[in-house]
Chain A
Amino acid sequence: MKKEFRVIADLLPRNIRVLDVGCGDGSLMSHLIKEKNIEVRGLEIVEENVKKCIYKGLSVIEGNAETELHQFPTKSFDFVILSQTLQAFYNPEKVLKDLLRIGKSVIISIPNFGYWKVRTSLLIFGKMPVTKTLPNSWYNTPNLHMCTIKDFFDFCIEKKININKVVGVNEETTSEIKKSNLEIKNLFSKVGIFLLK
């Protein structure tokens, strides 16, 4: 399982209700049920993934998070998770607003455009970065709104969204990100995981 999922699971208490937005084939959902006895629902746009979840007995709704989050009542989940998809929405701000409405807490992970490899690609080679976390080329990337950990940090402050915890993830380590180490973590983290209230 992805290291990112382990970090997310660690952030969650046991026996709660979770909505996994963009749940993929349900690996995170299965993990949360098994390890933390969490009641989890998924929303997924890719038909193949929806079926994989159904075969596993996971509760999943086929649908588009951009347009179909309205179906979930306010504060109907303890946590809502959105893993590495915020940047792919036409209107990430609206989606985030919906997530914060549905969940008492929200966990969002973002691929960090401030990661040093990304920066060097653009700075040294003058080309749009293609990395493991950002595997697509400029012409076929689903990512419309790339941002850095620092960008998202500032965004939350500007929009008065309560940041509870931020974790930076790269190959070897995970570490907590605070205002004091933001510059350096923004350079060395591949993925940023935000716990918002």
Chain B
Amino acid sequence: MPSIAGLFFYMSEKIKKLNVSKPLVLDCKKTVKDFPLAYETYGSLNKNKDNAILIFHALTGDQFVSGTNPITKKDGWWVTAVGPGKAIDTNKYFVICANVIGGCMGSWGPKEIDKNTNEAYGLNFPVITIKDMVKSQETLLDHLGIDKLLCAAGGSMGGMQLLQFCATFPNKTFSAVPIACSTNHSAQNIALNELARQAIMADPVWDNGKYLKKNIQPKNGLAVARMVGHISYLSEKGMQEKFGRKLQEKADYEFSFDADFQVESYLRHQGFAFVERFDANSILYITRAMDYFDLSRQFKGGLVEAFKNQKTKFLIISFSSDWLYTTKENKDTVIALNSAGADVSFAEIKTDKGHDSFLVNEPEFLKTLKGFIDSMHIKFKNEKK
């Protein structure tokens, strides 16, 4: 494994970056310009420019949606849904995804070097919001010469970015698929994010976010933060079926605090695999952005105001066993869109796979996604004629 600094140097060669030169006024009132936005594209934009799909990634995602992630050498995070012949078929569609600002896969984030100090930002990085993320990504569409997208899609925080995108830039996309998300973060979601942040900040290595100067990571804290996440992404039933009380390669309890149970071993594995690819401060910043997200607070007239004059065709998808962004929360978004007179469809996928359902191979979900996007493509082509 290369050192953190070595890893980041290595990254720069494999990552497409847009220098965002247009000044961006952040929600915290700071203005920034000339910052990097890392992105990746798959497939090609057709002549009529009617096949562009923008994907927003979730908390720990990045721009590498499909194929092999050139940095981690693992599958892209949404390889189940995006790729040649997949639900979002890259033989047919031009798929774009950017790393959010605050992230750590090449976009402007807390591990980037602050030109004023010549050191990594750490906690000197401004607190950013979902709206800031979305505004920076909109510049990418200009750069790629796309006036109107065929579709935009995203799950979890990606779905929240998408709802923000539609509210801030109405009719920039013909259709939209917000998946397993909500228009604001519930108390439970904020609490879980706080748990993740506290785990990182309780790690002495974290050192008020200054660990990068020493070229180390608060691995223990970050791994615990990731474990919290992993518990919330599965359903009670799914976890029980997958692990039950099964022991990890042993016949009996060891009467110790090693990982006796498979579920423990799984969490430890997920936690410590994560620290190899993610920056701890990024988790702080991105979870904060999620917690601050509240569309009705942003728009004085509430959600109806947020979604007024929408011509975008929405499909909201929820998963029956998702307790992080419940069907009820997703339906509340449907109600808001209906109240605003928007064109909205809604489907609940019945599954035991919890919040993670959108990332794993869930055939009913993938079929629904494909059916919607393909039918929207026909409509969009007709509209463009």
Q: Which residues of A contact B (CB under 8 A)?
A: 41, 47, 50-51, 53-63, 68, 71-73, 76
Considering only residues 338-385 of chain B, those with a C-beta below 8 Å from chain A are: 338-339, 341, 343-348, 350, 364, 367-368, 371-372, 374-376, 378-379
Give the distance to chain B from A36, nearest Cβ to Cβ, in Å.
18
Give the distance to chain A from B375, nearest Cβ to Cβ, in Å.
3
Q: Which residues of A contact B334 (CB under 8 A)?
A: 61, 71
Q: Does B313 lie within 8 Å of A59, measured CB to CB?
A: yes
Task: Add 9 more A-B contacts to A55-B374, A61-B345 (CB < 8 A).
Answer: A41-B343, A55-B371, A55-B372, A57-B378, A59-B345, A61-B344, A68-B331, A73-B339, A76-B341
Q: Does A54 lie within 8 Å of B339, measured CB to CB?
A: no
Assuming the contacts A54-B315, A54-B368, A73-B338, asked whether A62 and B348 have C-beta atoms less than 8 A apart, the reply is yes
Give the distance to chain A from B174, nearest Cβ to Cβ, in Å.
12
Give the distance to chain B from A165, nearest Cβ to Cβ, in Å.
28
Q: Which residues of A contact B345 (CB under 8 A)?
A: 53-54, 58-61
User: Would you call B11 an interface residue if the criterion is a C-beta within 8 Å of the partner chain's C-beta atoms?
Assistant: no
Q: Which residues of A contact B347 (CB under 8 A)?
A: 47, 50-51, 54, 62
Interface centre among A41, A51, A56, A62 (most CB of B within 10 A): A62
26 A-B contact pairs sorted by A residue (CB < 8 Å): A47-B347, A51-B371, A54-B371, A55-B371, A55-B372, A55-B374, A55-B375, A57-B372, A57-B375, A57-B379, A59-B313, A59-B344, A60-B346, A61-B334, A61-B338, A61-B346, A62-B346, A63-B331, A63-B346, A68-B331, A71-B334, A71-B338, A71-B339, A72-B338, A73-B338, A76-B338
Give the distance to chain B from A101, nearest Cβ to Cβ, in Å.
14
User: Would you call B335 an interface residue if the criterion is a C-beta within 8 Å of the partner chain's C-beta atoms?
Assistant: yes
Nearest to A56 among chain B residues (CB) is B375
Report the contact-size class of chain B (Cβ under 8 Å from the partner). Answer: 20 to 34
Q: How far is the CA of A53 from the CA of B345 in the complex (A)?
A: 9
Q: Which residues of B contact A (CB under 8 A)?
A: 313, 315, 331, 334-335, 338-339, 341, 343-348, 350, 364, 367-368, 371-372, 374-376, 378-379
User: Once A and B bind, how many residue pairs between them come within 8 Å at the CB atom?
Assistant: 57
Q: How far is the CA of A59 from the CA of B347 in the complex (A)?
A: 11
Give the distance to chain A from B344, nearest Cβ to Cβ, in Å.
7
Q: Which residues of B contact A60 (CB under 8 A)?
A: 345-346
Q: Does A71 lie within 8 Å of B335, measured CB to CB?
A: yes
Give the distance to chain B from A160, nearest Cβ to Cβ, in Å.
28
Q: How far is the CA of A62 from the CA of B345 in the complex (A)?
A: 8
Q: How far is the CA of A73 from the CA of B341 in the complex (A)?
A: 9
Give the distance to chain A from B296, nearest Cβ to Cβ, in Å.
16
Q: Which residues of B contact A61 (CB under 8 A)?
A: 334, 338, 344-346
Give the distance to chain B from A52, nearest Cβ to Cβ, in Å.
9
Give the distance to chain B from A145, nearest Cβ to Cβ, in Å.
27
Q: How far is the CA of A71 from the CA of B337 in the complex (A)?
A: 9
Q: How far is the CA of A194 from the CA of B334 in the complex (A)?
A: 30
Give the distance to chain B from A178, nearest Cβ to Cβ, in Å.
37
Q: Which residues of B contact A53 (CB under 8 A)?
A: 345
Assuming the contacts A59-B345, A63-B346, asked whether A51 and B368 have C-beta atoms less than 8 A apart, the reply is yes
Q: How far is the CA of A50 from the CA of B347 in the complex (A)?
A: 7
Q: How far is the CA of A68 from the CA of B371 in the complex (A)?
A: 25
Q: How far is the CA of A52 from the CA of B321 in the complex (A)?
A: 23
Give the distance to chain A from B368, nearest Cβ to Cβ, in Å.
6
Interface centre among B334, B345, B367, B379 (most CB of A within 10 A): B345
Nearest to A68 among chain B residues (CB) is B331
